[in-house]
Copies of this chain bind each other. A is one copy, B any other.
Amino acid sequence: MPELDSPPASAGDSEWDLSPVFSPSSIAMVGASDNPMSIGGMVYGNLKRDFPGQLYPINVVRKVVQGDVAYSDVADLPEPVDLLIVMVEASLVPGILARAADAGHRSAYVLSSGFSEAGAGGIALQAQLTDLATTRNFPIVGPNCIGFLNSFGSVMANFSLAPTADRPRPGSVALISQSGGFGSYILNRAVRGGLGIGYFASTGNEAGVTVADVLRHFVEQPQIKVIAMFAEAIRNPRQFLAAADRARELDKVIISVTPGASETVARAVMSHTASIVGSRDVYDAVCAQRGVLRVDSIDELVDYASILQAGKRMRGRRIGVITTSGGAGVLVSGAAGDYGLDVPQLGPERQAQIAALLPAFASSTNPVDTTAGIGEMAPDTYEKIARALLDDDSIDALVPLAWHSVSRDADVLVALESEYDKPIAPVVTIDADALAHRMPAFADPTRAVRALTAVTAVSGRPRRRTADGIVDEARAAAARDLLRPSMAHGFALESTAKDVLRLYGMPTAEERVVSDPDAGSKAAAELGGPVALKILSYRLPHKSDQGGVVLNRQGDDEVRRGCSELLEYMAAKGVPVEGVLVQQMAKGSLELAVGMYRDSVFGPIVTAGLGGRLIELTADAVLLPAPFGRDEALAAADRIAGGRITHAQRGMSESALGELAAAMTAVGLVAVDHPEIDSIDVNPLIPTDRGLVAVDALFTWAKPPTAAHD
């Protein structure tokens, strides 16, 4: 039993080989039943009907189950099997699985309920499964789930479908759901919506294998192009991120349906302000960064998977529209505008080609409006127009109106869908569902257009690059030396924070730390121009609110007097002082802020947005999970305030934007190198004539864990 020697691991970090689970060549079912109405009977019936490999029923009472010779225990099987399906009382499961691992069976899918969802006893039982899975490196999916299906391998190991039910059409879509009931619903919607389903899996309570593990496995399957998942929690974020990156590498698409804002945990981004981002914002940012499509509804999931299942991509955002109704053409064009797609004018030759097919009062531009008289035109008019648009280099996808799913037009579209590699998203005004089983089809113009945005979102995704020079051990060590004196306190002094940030490439204000008015005056003279004077004290994390800052002092007298007054005021209040920061004043009309906080799931999240008072008024900080590369930082910086900080009349220059990206990158690198820093707040950052300048900065430390006897 070499598994016992394996080092213990948390289930969340395991990398299971899930091939025995999802592509088994032999299966045994514990709890296989002769009663076709029981779950054990239904699942065994499903397996028996389709599965071409070796199949063993296990039943402690019966010798024969559904006509097959039954075994009484997993230890009695004539060979080790790839997969055990388990549907017996919860209390029996840990023993069975332990014997299964002993017997050399390779994996288990536990459908039984009565585990963590059923109170203390169940939680203890489930912990035994987790322990078994990790210590024995034995992949366990479930418990408390409805099973899975693999259309390619004809494995129908679930009770979502009855043994007599039609099987889903095999295809390039995989579905994963933690929730069994909801998974079954999604599967039903997907089948009705015309999706070709390669795999479906429910992961239930996730004692061992998580949704992210299954995701990672499905991404690698060659027939799969789209994986849609419903998850209430990502228990294994590293695996999720790896799967997302791998999907992008293979140009496959992950679609995530994620519950909305009621999950949102209020969280202050920056300690000075009331700005809030919730964990869903973080998940959105992670998905955006990793190329995962986030959707809010099952409609979107089905629509996106439908248009993506053929694996087509778009070179641009330009759609051609064929309509028989001006109204529908307007609605499609309007929706295109709303969703950021273009409905470009056609070139004169193309227009002439189309015009020759249509009566004078029709419209040969884009949208091409044949008018309702299309029925009286030459029979191939519709096809010729569709081809003219699909052949046009200025068109990346086609949105044709088709009146009825059962029509010559519909047949034409099905033929063109397989001939052309540009997506076709027909709007079918009567019975779109029927056409949806032959090709993507939509009952709603808005949804047809929205579906194409899913294609543009995944077209031309560059391979992700994280920060250059992310590993710089010398820099990290130098920063640790700078930070060490602060570690005994709740936060780092502003001067320390800025020294560290400068190491990582953050542009900061010119400044000196002094200890008395003489040195202050000298430092101010060296810096030139008006200066700010700031008390450095571990008692003053928010020093400007605490009387520790004076602004705009110039000349020997003013500076000297400012230093004296500050020091005397602090002495009078008994505040211990580490020094006075003498800082060149930064002038600019805009204030920005960059920060960092740690998400409990996805780790360091860098925020950037308008700063100072503006934070409260605009509340649209962008989030970027660290680490990230310069391109991502630039793109994120360009989204601040809806892109208006750069596109506004008097917006930031491109060089200032680059400096802001550098500031974000610096904060991200500090966060990655120094996990002991809990939050970073650089606010304000001011774009000045001499470049971007960080004016204030605060690092806070994670609170030390409370001792047990505190």
Contacts and interface: CB of A to CB of B under 8 A. Distances in A.
Interface residues of A, number: 73
Contact of A334 (B188, B259, B299, B334): B259
Contacts of A264: 337
A617 interface: yes
Contacts of A182: 325-328, 331
A62 to B, nearest CB: 23
Interface in A278-303: 296-299
A619 interface: yes
A333 to B, nearest CB: 4
A61 to B, nearest CB: 22
A692 to B, nearest CB: 17
A421 to B, nearest CB: 26
A656 B682 CA distance: 31
18 contacts: A122-B361, A183-B327, A189-B429, A230-B327, A232-B326, A259-B330, A259-B335, A260-B338, A261-B334, A262-B333, A297-B445, A298-B443, A298-B446, A613-B650, A616-B649, A616-B651, A617-B618, A617-B644
Interface of A: 117-119, 122, 177-185, 188-189, 230, 232, 257-264, 273-274, 296-299, 324-328, 330-331, 333-338, 343, 360-361, 371-372, 429-430, 443-447, 589-590, 610, 613-614, 616-619, 641-642, 644-645, 648-651
B298 A445 contact: yes
A262 B326 contact: no
Contact of A443 (B189, B261, B336, B590): B189
A648 B334 contact: no
A188 B262 CA distance: 36
Given A183-B327, A262-B336, 20 more contacts: A117-B371, A118-B360, A177-B327, A178-B327, A179-B325, A181-B327, A185-B429, A260-B337, A261-B338, A262-B334, A273-B649, A297-B445, A297-B447, A298-B444, A299-B299, A299-B447, A589-B613, A610-B617, A616-B651, A617-B644
B644 A616 contact: yes
Contacts of A297: 335, 444-447
A645 B182 CA distance: 41
Contacts of A333: 259-260, 262
A296 B616 contact: no
A602 to B, nearest CB: 18
Nearest to A328: B182
- Give the interface centre of A331, A610, A642 by most chain B CB atoms within 10 Å: A331
Nearest to A443: B189
8 tightest A-B contacts by CB?
Answer: A179-B327, A181-B325, A260-B334, A182-B327, A259-B334, A616-B648, A297-B446, A261-B337
A308 B575 CA distance: 65
Contacts of A232: 326-327, 330
